[in-house]
Structures are given as C-alpha cells and as structure tokens.
Structure 1
Amino acid sequence: MHQHNHTFVTEFFLLGFQNLHIFKIPFFILLLKTYIMTICANVLIVLAVSASLSLHTPMYFFLCHLSFCDVLLTTNIVPNMLHVILEEGSTITLFGCLAQFQMFGWCCITECYILTVMSYDRYLAICNPLHYPSIMGFHLCLGLVLLCWMLGFMFALISTVLTGRLQFCKDNTIDHFFCDFLPILELSCSDTSLVEMEEFLAAPFVLLFPFVFIIFSYVYIVFTILGISSTSGRQKTFSTCSTHLAVVCVFYGTLISIYLSPSRGYSLNINKFTSLSYTMVTPLFNPIIYTLRNQGIRNVIDKFIFLVEK
C-alpha cells in the first residue's frame, strides 16, 4: 500500500555544470567551437576515405567507421549539453533520457570494439605482413565492423531495457550534463541489483577483454619492431601504429577511471570534466592526430580542400 503513495518520475532535470557564473558564455562558446570542429574533422575523414581509392584499405576503412561513431557520440550528447549550460539546467523525459543512454552506450561500446579491431589490423600488418593481404580482405573487414556495431547495440540495449524497468520516485535531479548510467541508477527507488549485476558481468566483455587484447597485440608489435635491423625501418613501422595507441590510451584511460572507480563519486565536477574527455576531446583528438601523423590522409584532404576553394 505504501508504494501507491509514490509519485513516479516521468522526466529528469539535468543540472549540468553549476556555478559557472561569468564563465558560462565563454565555456558555452568553447564547447560549441569544439563540437563544430569535431563534426567537421570527422566528416572530412569519412569523405576523404570514401572518395579516394588510395585510402580503400582496411586501416582507413576502420578509421572511417571510428570517425562516424565519434560523430554519433558527440551529436547525441553535445547539443543537449549546450542547451543545459545555456539554460543552467534542462528537463528531459524518461524516454528521452533512456534513448540518450542507449545511443551513448552503443557508440562507446562500438568504439571500444573498433579500436580493438584496429589493433588486430596493425598486428597482422606488422607481425604477419606476407599473409596480411589474404587474411584482411574486404569480407573480413566488413564482417568485423558489422560485428562491432551489433555487439555494441546488443550490450547497450540490454542495459537500457533493464534500466527502463526501474521505477523512479525520488528526486528527479541528475547532477550531470547527460543521462549516464550511475546518475540514473542513483535516482531509482526500486531494486537495482539486477542492473548492477548486468553491468558487472558485461564490463569484462566491453572494457577488460578488448583492452587486454590491445595490450597483447602491441606487445607483439613492439617485439617485432625491435627486431627490425634498420633504425629508419623501426621508426616508419612504429609511426603506423603510434597514433592508434595514443587514441586507445586516452579513450580507455578515461572510461576505466570513471566506470571501474565508481566510489570516487560520479557527481563531482572532476568526473564531469573527465566525461568531457571521451564525449568531446577524444572524438576531436582522433581525426586530428590521424591526419597530422598520416601523409596519405593529409594529401587527400589537401586536394579536397583545394577543390572546394577552387
């Protein structure tokens, strides 16, 4: 009988970043510029890889999907976040919150798997170059990418469905700038043990196993590179995978620091700014570092920009 006295929540209020005061507009402009740069840079990567036959290789095929994933990730989070900052808080329906949570989880998990597939591609190219063309064919590349998107969607959907079955009857204020897992869970007035168990069981398949696979891949890559006799050969070979390794360190580092250390408190401002690193900084970092370190992409983008200006 007591449960019937609850008023169940149908919408949430996102607090965003509090106490910005005079820094609200400069912060808003900074994030808006970053978002525009992120979208332009990643779309440019997709167009460059799609339009140039010289970039129709497995590495650039995976990079193209990584950029597309970053576009979806930032577009799912940033526009609403900018509205939250400008209005110093904003409401979002329960359905909208779950939809944002689903898309966020899908993109993050898919990016984890794509980065893992890219490390496997680099491993084959460097450690087994003679068999690389026959192994990493178009059908395998397409199958791996589809598997990444399907697994990402499946794991995210399971978490979203279980979260959607929860009842919310406490304070409807989310101390974050988007609908993340821990803030949503904190507001539930029903038993969350099943959702927490699902997250605990899924974490190794989403974060731990892919990360360990990447580490082992690069251990083999490093030993192979050290076995190259010429210094120039070692430098050239390492340059082909150093950019991917840098992206992996930033992306996995921020995710692991947040989701494997929940006791630190998700509502702290430091965690909000950490969340910004993989929702905004990493998606911008990916195309920048790949274009700066990759002569092939730079040449295609230079030609593309020249044609547009002409």
Structure 2
Amino acid sequence: MGGVNHTTVTEFFLLGLSAHAEQEVVLCGLFLGLYLVTLSGNLLIILAISCDPRLHTPMYFFLANLSSVDVCFSSVTVPKMLVNHVVGSKSISYTQCMTQIYFLITFGNMDGFLLSVMAYDRYVAICQPLHYTMIMRPKLCVLLVAVSWVITNLHALLHTLLMVRLNFCFTNTVNHFFCDPYPVLKLSCSDTFINDLMVFTVGGLVFLTPFTCIVVSYVCIFSKVLKFPSAQGIRKALSTCGSHLTVVSLFYGAILGVYMHPSSSYSVQDTVASVIFTVVTPLVNPFIYSLRNRDMKAALRKLLLRS
C-alpha cells in the first residue's frame, strides 16, 4: 500500500447462504416468499392502525412505527440478495455495501429502541393507569420516537465512517448474503482497533440502554402485578404484555447469538442467527401482535372487508 490511505477494493462478493446452485434457488424462493409476507403483514398493520380511530393510542402508534421499521429493515438485505440471484451475480459495490451497513445498524437499533419505548408504555398503563393519558401525551410519544431516530442514525453514522476509513486491499469475499459489519471488518488490512473499541463501548451502550429500560419496566410491572388481589386481574395485565415479551425475546435472542462475541469467531451458526435477526423477526412481529390482540384482529377484519 505504500502508506497511502486509500481503498483499492471497489466491490465485494457475497457468498450467499449456500455454495450449491440447487440449494441457492430454493433459498432465494423461500426468502422471496418470506419478504412478500413481511411486507404484506406489516403494511396491513400500518393501514389498520391508520384507518381505525379506536387504535389511535400510544401503544398502536408505537406498533405502527415498529412495523414501518421492520419493512425497512427487511428491505435493506433481502432485495439485493434476490436481485443478485436473478442477474447471476454475487457482487455488491463498495458504496452499496457501506450504505447497507449504515441502514442495517440504523433500523436494527431502532427496533430495540421502539421495543423499549413500548415497554415503558406498558409500564405506565399497568403501574400508573390513572395518569396514563396525562403521561403518554401525543407530544411525548412523538418525542420518544424522534429521539430514538436521532440516536440510531448518529450511531450508524459513527460506525460507517469508521468503516470507510479502513483499507480493503485484496480480499473482498464476504462470507454472508449481505454486508454484515463483522465479516466486512475481518476483510480489512488496516488496524481495526478503533472499530472494535467503538463496537464494544458505544455499540454496547446503545445496545444496553434500551435493553435495560425493558428489563426495569418489566421488573416494575411484575412487582405491581403480583400485588393484584385477583387472578383475573393478573391474567388481564399479563395478556397486554405477552406479545411484546415474545417479540423482545426473539429480537434480543438473535442479537446475542450474532453480535455478542469477537468478530474473529464468526461462524455458520451466526449466519443462521443473522437470518432470524434480519428476516424472521420482521416477519413474525405482525403475526404475534395481530393474533393475540382482539382490537387488532377486529381492525384487520374491518380493513379487509372494506377493501
């Protein structure tokens, strides 16, 4: 390199999910079906919440935002993989790769922040029911979402700029179906100490902040619920949290399986966890919330009958 700080790699090659052409065809067909279901399910939830005045509440406002983020999150990775399969290419340009990393970090973290905001909403509804409308005002709901967007975009910008400063000299084959930050980082011939440091400090802080809010919210919720005099009251309170807890468990379980270890130990198992994180989680979110929610099912039924 002669000490010159520039990037010689202009594109990366994504190995995909399988080295066998037959398996690749089946997997791409499967991913196309999952992607279409993800788009349909989440867009239906957004439309149902928008069209039904009964769902114009803080909880459904946050759910509509979560569905919007899930649509964007799945659209970051799957369409590029499908396009590459159709045109018979595995390449992605350097600019597209860095852009994919930026939006992957943004929407991935935004999911976590929205889940923490929804946990706070459930805390207020159960622990402060008489003051709920006064606390969860529309201005506060919009502010919580706006602040989350600012934090996640700044966080993504930090990691993307740190990635851009690295040199990629010769190896440009990414052992994945999208530009995951860890596999791409392993390809650099520069010193990645600062990148690793920011991942485990700033990245850890951005990860732990919403996770801690969720844990604290549910500790307070369960403490309050256990004091209810009747079993029916306990079941009613917990039923409002069941869907959210399911989504939280799936989301953070996948994150822990992929990113909570050094980048040098990336393996096939991590690819499976990445598929769950980037494809399965946005897919199941609308089903979890709609199938367990009477108001949501009624709104979806009304929307489908009207159309």
Quickly name the TM-score band, shorter chain normalised.
over 0.9
Cα separation, 1, equivalents of 2:183 and 2:87: 20
Q: Displacement, 1:270? A: 1.8
TM-score, normalised to structure 1, is 0.94
Instruction: Give, as a single letter, the amino acid of the residue that structure 1 aligns with 2:272.
Output: F
Where does the alignment leave 5 or more consecutive residues of structure 2 unmatched?
none
Q: Secondary structure at the match of 1:67?
A: helix
Does structure 1 retain, via aligned residues, the 8 Å contact 2:186–2:263? Answer: no
> Which residue number corresponds to residue 271 of structure 2?
272
Are the equivalent residues in 2 in contact too, given 1:125–1:132 (CA < 8 A)? Answer: yes
Displacement, 1:222? 1.2
Q: Which 4+ residue blocks in structure 1 deviate beyond 6 angstroms?
A: none
Tell me which amino acid in the other structure corresponds to 1:34. Answer: L
Partner of 2:61: 61
SS of the residue 2:91 aligns to: strand
Note if 1:228 corresponds to 2:228. Answer: yes
Q: Secondary structure at the match of 1:92?
A: strand
Aligned to 2:92: 92
1:130-188, CA deviations, whole angstroms, 9 ceiling, x for partnerless residues? 11110100000000011111111110011101111111103111111111111111111
Quick one: which amino acid aligns to residue 303 of structure 2? F
Residue equivalent to 1:49: 49
Which residue of structure 2 lines up, in the alignment, with residue 35 of structure 1?
Answer: 35
Helix, strand or coil: the match of 1:8? coil
Name the residue aligned to 1:72: 72
Indicate the residue corresponding to 1:110 in structure 2. Answer: 110
Report the alpha carbon displacement of residue 57 of structure 1 after superposing the two structures with TM.
0.4
SS in 2 for 1:13: strand
Specify the code of the residue in structure 2 equivalent to 1:294. N
C-alpha displacement of 1:89: 5.4
Q: Give the superposition deviation at 1:20.
A: 3.5
Q: Which moved more, 1:248-257 or 1:61-70?
A: 248-257
Q: Does 1:289 align with 2:285?
A: no
Residue equivalent to 2:101: 101
Asked if 2 retains the 8 angstrom alpha-carbon contact of 1:15 and 1:90, the reply is: yes
Q: Give the letter aligned to residue 292 of structure 1.
A: L
Distance in 1 separating the partners of 2:149 and 2:31: 28
Q: Give the distance between the partners of 1:264 and 1:276, measured in 2 at CA.
A: 19
**CA distance in 2 between partners of 1:242 and 1:165 (Å):** 44
TM-score of the superposition, structure 2-length normalised?
Answer: 0.95
C-alpha distance in structure 2 between counterparts of 1:31 and 1:302, whole Å = 27
Q: Please say which of residues 287-296 and 16-25 is displaced more in the overlay.
A: 16-25
Please give the alpha-carbon distance, in whole angstroms, between the structure 1 residues aligned to 2:205 and 2:99. Answer: 22
The 10-residue stretch of structure 1 (14-23 or 229-238) with the greater mean CA deviation from structure 2:
14-23
Kept in 1, the 8 Å contact 2:8–2:167? The answer is yes
Pairwise CA distance, 1:128: 1.0
Question: Shift of the alpha carbon at 1:88?
Answer: 7.0
Matching of residue 195 in structure 1 with residue 199 in structure 2: no
What is the deviation of 1:244? 0.4
The 2-side partners of 1:260 and 1:139 are apart by: 35
CA change 1:7–1:162 in 2 (3 A) is closer
- Counterpart AA for 1:123: Y
Quote the residue 1:153 is aligned against.
153
Task: Say yes or no: does 1:299 pair with 2:291.
Answer: no
Give per-residue Cα distances to partners, 1:207-259, cap 9 Å, x unaligned: 12221221121111112112112222211110101110110111011112211
1:183 & 1:9 partners in 2: Cα distance?
A: 15
Q: Distance in 1 between matches of 2:62 and 2:7?
A: 47
**Partner residue of 2:23?**
23
C-alpha distance in 2, partners of 1:148/1:42?
Answer: 20
Separation (CA, whole Å) in 2 of partners of 1:100 and 1:25: 23
Distance, in Å, in 1 between the alignment partners of 2:186 and 2:204 is: 23
AA partner of residue 17 (structure 2): F
Shift of 1:83: 3.4
Could you tell me how far apart the structure 2 residues matched to 1:205 and 1:125 are?
Answer: 27
- What is the letter of the counterpart of residue 162 of structure 2? L
How many Å apart are 1:39 and its aligned residue?
A: 0.4
